[in-house]
Amino acid sequence: MSREVYRVPLDFRWPHRKVWKGFRRSEENEALRCDPCEGMGSSDRYRELERSFYDNENHGVTWWYDYGVDPQGNPAENPPWRVIGTTTRWMYDLTQDEVDAIIQSKRLSRYGIYQFTPSNPPDEQYVRTDRPWPTAAQVNHDMLYDTMGHDGVNTHAAIKARMARLYPGESHLCPHCGGEGIHFRDDAHRAAYDAWEMEAPPEGEGWQMWETTTEGSPISPVLPTPEKLAAWLYDNDATSFGSQTPTYAGWLGMIRCGHAPSMVAVDGVVSSGVDHVAASEARLKPIITLRPTKVPDVIAYEAIFDALVQDTEQYNPKDFAEWCRDNGMACKADFLAGGAVSISGEVNATQATAFKLRWL
């Protein structure tokens, strides 16, 4: 899920928000969903255990939240509640063999059972440590207060372990599709499906922003320069993550990099990937941009200072803002992702000349 810049011909035309035809098989060659397993590739027994693992539907049970306390009655910190009563979900009631299966899948890294060592060969990167193996009771207690809980990988390992114990020898795969979740009309259909290859849009001199939350589709017109693309994205309130709309300089910094993820989490703080990439682009010096406005002789400026350059003598937002004010240029400051600071405002043509001489 991200934003990505494509260099395409200036006359390239494809509907916005429509997946590019080369990124998706034709309907005729697409596989058919396996209806018995709902396209999941798993057996009835597996899906039954999967549903009860989380028990999101919560049919016929009693449970509620007691906000603000932990199991001992002390103020809770993260998250601020405990589950009370009964529930059919078993994600907080794992047995030891299920916990063992999760850890053997190199999960639950908080307990430090395996140390990831990327310098080792691929099949030896997880090294067993001498840390004590956690008990099921310990894991169940800790996960009650974990912000994320068990993810799909943990769930899969636990379900397979429970099936092996309760239903020995029974496969967790769908008997109709063998675990693929799809099927084909005949061998020719399968051959056409396997032979398909992705085809990228044609290359050219233009600049266009695409989203890759789907297989990939354009979200802007094709423009001749990075600056004009950034201006279009800014003027049209294009989003980068959720409803977040980056600044002009933020878009320009990301366009220069070519790609940005939807979001970035640093020290528990989630921010737009475009803002993060733009800040990274400005690590050696601020990203400073000037662009005309719709008002004659009025030019908008913006400077993004990454956190790593804010304390340097040559580039820091305080001196920049003071210089702007001393030269009669109004400015405002905004905080961006990763500690970056944006300073922006408007100048006339004479001020713009002085601005360029000092900062560009």
Mean pLDDT by 10 residues, the chain (360 residues): 92 97 95 97 96 71 49 56 60 96 95 91 92 96 84 96 97 97 97 96 97 95 93 91 83 87 78 78 68 86 70 71 87 74 86 80
Radius of gyration of the chain (CA): 27
Cα–Cα distance measured from residue 311 to residue 319, given in angstroms and rounded to the nearest whole number: 10
Does residue 273 share a domain with residue 153?
no
Q: Could you say which of 166, 182, 211 is where a domain stops? A: 166
Does residue 162 share a domain with residue 230?
no
DSSP 201: P
Cα–Cα distance measured from residue 340 to residue 308, given in angstroms and rounded to the nearest whole number: 8
- Alpha helices in the chain, H assignment, sequence order: 44-54, 96-104, 136-144, 152-166, 187-195, 226-235, 248-257, 273-281, 317-326, 349-359
CA angle, 93 then 99 then 102, to 5°: 125
> Would residue 109 count as lying in a domain?
yes
Q: Tell me, what's the pLDDT at 307?
A: 62
CA–centroid distance for 231 within its chain = 25
> Would residue 336 count as lying in a domain?
yes
CA angle, 104 then 266 then 246, to 5°: 130
Cα–Cα distance measured from residue 19 to residue 325, given in angstroms and rounded to the nearest whole number: 47
Does residue 234 share a domain with residue 150?
no
> Would residue 142 count as lying in a domain?
yes
Does residue 53 share a domain with residue 150?
yes
What are the structure tokens assigned to 334, written together?
A: 């905004």
CA–centroid distance for 137 within its chain = 32
Contact assessment for residue 305 and residue 341, using Cβ atoms and an 8 Å cutoff: yes
Phi, psi dihedrals of residue 288, rounded to the nearest 5°: -115, 130
Q: Could you say which of 166, 201, 236 is where a domain stops? A: 166
Q: Tell me, what's the pLDDT at 62?
A: 45
Q: Is the dihedral of CA 190, 192, 193, 195 positive or negative?
A: positive
Does residue 352 share a domain with residue 254?
yes
Does residue 242 share a domain with residue 158?
no
Q: Could you say which of 123, 142, 166 is where a domain stops? A: 166
Q: Tell me, what's the pLDDT at 283?
A: 53
> Would residue 200 count as lying in a domain?
no
Q: Tell me, what's the pLDDT at 102?
A: 98
Does residue 229 share a domain with residue 162?
no
> Could you tell me whether strands 298-305 and 287-292 are parallel, antiparallel, or unpaired per DSSP bridges?
antiparallel
Q: Tell me, what's the pLDDT at 85?
A: 52
Contact assessment for residue 327 and residue 347, using Cβ atoms and an 8 Å cutoff: no
Between 273-281 and 248-257, two packed helices, what is the crossing angle to 10 degrees?
80
> Would residue 272 count as lying in a domain?
yes
> Would residue 354 count as lying in a domain?
yes
Does residue 320 share a domain with residue 233?
yes
Secondary structure E strands in the chain:
2-8, 32-33, 63-67, 81-85, 114-116, 126-128, 182-183, 206-211, 217-218, 259-261, 263-266, 269-272, 287-292, 298-305, 332-335, 341-348
Does residue 142 share a domain with residue 231?
no
> Would residue 176 count as lying in a domain?
no
326-345 as b/e: b if 16+ CB within 10 A: eeebebeeeebbbebbbbbb
> Would residue 16 count as lying in a domain?
no
Does residue 162 share a domain with residue 58?
yes
Does residue 252 share a domain with residue 131?
no
Domain that holds residue 229: 225-360
- For the chain, the domain total comes to 2
DSSP 71: T
Cα–Cα distance measured from residue 63 to residue 311, given in angstroms and rounded to the nearest whole number: 53
Q: Tell me, what's the pLDDT at 242?
A: 81
Q: Tell me, what's the pLDDT at 223?
A: 97
Does residue 343 share a domain with residue 272?
yes
